[in-house]
């Protein structure tokens, strides 16, 4: 299965960093949060990525074009105009970087990468959130229930779209939050069947609104409930917290050596 990552937004609430780079390129440790997300998926055997770009897309493209420079020792022979890479480490990744437009909404970005997905189910997530969700169990759950879409539900503060969940995991309603809502929210880490493209009209479509709302009404949206770690890097405070976890060796999403 391919992994689609939404990485094209402006990241206005973390503007101190996103003024110079897109939010998925804000670093935790010495690597962008986008790299952390990809490393996590890779540990479950998912190495084929389609990244939806928009704001300052060239930063992401240059990062992958110069990946060895970021991860290896390098000798530059200026007199002979040559470069030698030492101890290079190559990730087993295939990365497709797609310009999905500067002002395109999340649904529109997904619609634009349809040609790279074809008629196969795919994984979908945001380029600013890390978790220790069991991706193997998530995919098995999606295959078992047979509906079009599965999203991971997490228990957290009421900042995102809210789901009304039945006992069997069926999402009967997806809507914007209000003051009376519970705490199960959309944490990303989704699995989609290709029929989901039929629910997206175009660039102006926010995936978290009409598509998910209509999928819920049609009985085609399920939740995989995750009670473990999940964190979205939405603000500078979030970034500092994730950085502290990494620095202290207490990063729950780091499952690689």
* Domain definitions of the chain by residue range: 2-247
**pLDDT by residue (tens digit) across 38-85?**
999 999 999 999 999 999 999 999 999 988 887 888 899 999 999 888
Residue 181 pLDDT > 60:
no
> Can you give the pTM of this predicted structure?
0.87
Output the CATH code of domain 2-247.
3.90.550.10
What is the per-residue pLDDT for 185?
Answer: 84
What is the per-residue pLDDT for 47?
Answer: 98
Residue 98 pLDDT > 90:
yes
Provide mean pLDDT across the span 210-238.
94
Vertex 87 angle, CA 83 and 89, to 5°: 100
What is the per-residue pLDDT for 15?
Answer: 60
**pLDDT by residue (tens digit) across 11-33?**
766 666 657 889 999 999 999 99
**pLDDT by residue (tens digit) across 129-175?**
999 999 999 999 999 999 999 999 997 654 555 666 676 778 776 66
Confidence of residue 4 (pLDDT cuts 50, 70, 90): very high
Residue 219 pLDDT > 80:
yes
What is the per-residue pLDDT for 168?
Answer: 74
Look at the block and give the residue holding tokens 């998910």.
Answer: 212
């Amino acid at each position: 299965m391919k992994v689609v990552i939404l990485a094209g937004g402006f990241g206005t609430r973390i503007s101190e960093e996103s003024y110079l780079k897109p939010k998925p390129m804000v670093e935790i440790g010495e690597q962008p949060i986008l790299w952390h997300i990809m490393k996590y998926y890779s540990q479950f055997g998912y190495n084929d990525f389609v990244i939806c770009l928009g704001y300052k897309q060239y930063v992401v493209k240059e990062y992958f074009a110069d990946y060895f420079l970021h991860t290896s020792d390098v000798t530059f022979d200026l007199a002979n105009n040559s470069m030698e890479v030492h101890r290079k480490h190559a990730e087993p990744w295939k990365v497709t970087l797609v310009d999905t437009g500067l002002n395109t909404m999340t649904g529109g970005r997904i619609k634009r990468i349809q040609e790279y997905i074809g008629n196969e189910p795919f994984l979908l997530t945001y380029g600013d959130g890390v978790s220790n969700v069991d991706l193997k169990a998530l995919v098995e759950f999606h295959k078992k229930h047979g509906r079009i879409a599965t999203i991971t539900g997490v228990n957290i503060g009421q900042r995102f779209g809210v789901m009304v969940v039945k006992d069997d995991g069926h999402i009967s309603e997806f809507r914007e939050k209000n003051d009376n809502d519970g705490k199960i929210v959309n944490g990303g880490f989704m699995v989609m069947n290709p029929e989901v493209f039929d629910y997206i009209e175009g660039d102006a479509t926010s995936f978290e609104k009409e598509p998910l709302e209509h999928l819920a009404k049609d009985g085609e949206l399920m939740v995989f409930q995750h009670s473990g770690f999940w964190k979205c890097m939405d603000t500078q405070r979030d970034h500092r917290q994730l950085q502290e976890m990494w620095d202290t060796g207490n990063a729950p999403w780091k499952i690689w050596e």
